[in-house]
């Protein structure tokens, strides 16, 4: 776990150059036949759901093995927010079939070569039988799951405020599709049975002999109550549950990522509730926190054991980076006016971890990449570009300008500077933004 005070954490906020993935490769997920589901919710010795990658080198090294140093690249993107225009862009008017692959045309190379790629699936995937819908009560066709798989994602977070938009049927349909179609994807945050939902069972994905727990929680479900016979359907930010799972992860996993759905919508600033939960996560051993929900990017802050004053209650334990919000990865909001342009910029968390010579797994470096959602009317005309590939010509064609005239390529760059730049003077040991 991330307890070594002497580790040098390097934060590279790179917007117009690539970073972090050199030499890190992964077979495209649709071609990868070496991964399989293992572990069991009935395994009383493990108490963990595990997605493993078949390998001859799965056994963790003995502590003190000076020759064994294994590394992983982990990425995560923010909200896949399927407003009606996004769904319309994916629908074939002649056949009625959906295809969302185009969303990831300019990002799947980075996603697919990560060892572990995580995504926040903001809306429930209940299928056409429940009625495809956008804001305010969302429901997506199953084909968005196909696109996430094809893009190379390994972990899908479903604990959001929209998880219950289609009630019990939405949860069941969504999980059935994932389990039956893509059993090698780790889905977390929603449950269709009490055993898997138990606080004593934590989701773990294993790569190269390193076990990574991915804990996903939401602050609420827009006032929609859980089904009477499925009170466990959505993983909530319940203090007792969170602490129990974090403590269990300390024993069952080598590294723990917490993905909370929290914060204030459309706010670039961190709120008091986020600060409260940050203290809890850190105190109980989380190694990194990657947040979603505000639909805009928020600061990345490194909590250093050598600088406890930056933790509000001064009771933190261990170094821990926090990405407070990655914002939207894809969306086409119907909102208008100042600030709407902010919703078109998202971040990609990029983290490298490794098992050190003493057997401990910790962070080598972490960074954030900036992406811009490009929207135009017509089939397959919604996609996401890394900011270094997003030209002023593209920005001039982005139809979000009709809703917020301030949108431009420069606006996106300045927004990123504003949000991440404020963080640079706080506690980053080494950092750079390149334009």
Percentage of residues of the chain with pLDDT beyond 90: 76
Confidence tier at 420 by pLDDT (50, 70, 90): confident
Q: What is the pLDDT of residues 167-185, one digit of tens each?
A: 999 999 999 999 999 999 9
d(CA 316, CA 305): 7
Q: pLDDT at position 26, please?
A: 28
pTM of the model: 0.84
CB burial string 256-284: b at 16+ within 10 A, e below: bbbbbbbbbeebbebeeebeebbbbbbbb
Q: Where are the domains of the chain?
A: 10-434
d(CA 203, CA 208): 17
Q: What is the pLDDT of residues 322-366, one digit of tens each?
A: 999 999 999 999 999 999 999 999 999 999 999 998 899 999 999
d(CA 342, CA 400): 11
Q: How long is the chain? A: 435
Q: What is the mean pLDDT of residues 33-49?
A: 36
Tell whether domain 10-434 is in CATH 3.60.21: yes
Cβ–Cβ under 8 Å, residues 216 and 158: yes
Is the predicted pLDDT of residue 1 greater than 80, yes or no?
no
Q: Give the angle subtended at the CA of 274 by the CAs of 268 and 277, to the nearest 5°.
A: 160
Q: Which of 188, 165, 345, 170 is nearest to 259 (CA)?
A: 188
CB burial string 159-189: b at 16+ within 10 A, e below: bbbbbbbbbeebbbbbbebbeeebebbbbbb
């Amino acid at each position: 776990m991330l307890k070594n005070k002497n580790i040098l954490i390097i934060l590279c906020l790179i917007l117009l150059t690539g970073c972090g993935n050199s030499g890190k490769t992964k077979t495209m997920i649709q071609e990868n036949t070496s991964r399989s589901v293992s572990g069991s919710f009935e395994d009383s010795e493990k108490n963990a759901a595990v997605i493993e990658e078949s390998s001859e080198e799965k056994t963790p090294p003995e502590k003190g093995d000076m020759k064994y140093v294994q590394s992983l690249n982990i990425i995560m993107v923010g909200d896949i927010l399927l407003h009606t225009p996004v769904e319309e862009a994916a629908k074939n008017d002649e056949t009625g079939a959906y295809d969302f692959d185009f969303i990831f045309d300019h990002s799947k190379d980075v996603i697919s070569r990560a060892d572990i790629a995580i995504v926040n699936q903001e809306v429930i995937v209940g299928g056409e039988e429940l009625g495809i819908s956008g804001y305010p009560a969302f429901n997506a066709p199953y084909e968005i799951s196909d696109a996430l798989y094809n893009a190379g994602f390994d972990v899908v977070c479903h604990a959001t405020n929209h998880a219950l938009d289609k009630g019990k049927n939405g949860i069941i349909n969504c999980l059935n599709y994932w389990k039956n179609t893509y059993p090698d994807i780790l889905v977390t945050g929603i449950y269709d049975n009490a055993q898997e939902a138990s606080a004593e069972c934590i989701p773990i994905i294993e790569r190269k002999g390193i076990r990574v727990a991915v804990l996903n929680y939401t602050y609420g479900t827009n006032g929609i109550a859980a089904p009477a016979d499925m009170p466990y359907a959505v993983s909530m930010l319940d203090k007792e549950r969170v602490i129990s799972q974090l403590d269990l992860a300390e024993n069952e996993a080598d590294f723990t990522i917490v993905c909370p759905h929290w914060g204030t919508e459309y706010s670039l600033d961190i709120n008091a509730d986020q600060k409260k939960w940050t203290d809890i996560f850190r105190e109980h051993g989380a190694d990194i926190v990657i947040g979603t929900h505000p639909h805009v990017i928020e600061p990345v802050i490194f909590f250093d054991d050598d600088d406890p004053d930056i933790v509000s209650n001064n009771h933190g334990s261990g170094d821990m980076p926090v990405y407070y919000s990655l914002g939207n990865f894809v969306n086409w909001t119907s909102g208008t006016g100042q600030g709407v342009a902010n919703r078109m910029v998202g971040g990609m968390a990029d983290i490298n971890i490794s098992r050190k010579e003493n057997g401990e797994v910790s962070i080598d470096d972490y960074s954030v990449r900036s992406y811009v959602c490009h929207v135009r009317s017509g089939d397959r005309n919604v996609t996401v570009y890394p900011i270094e590939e997003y030209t002023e010509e593209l920005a001039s064609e982005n139809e979000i300008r009709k809703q917020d005239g301030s949108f431009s390529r420069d606006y996106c760059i300045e927004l990123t500077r504003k949000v991440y730049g404020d963080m640079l003077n706080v506690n980053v040991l080494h950092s750079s933004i390149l334009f």
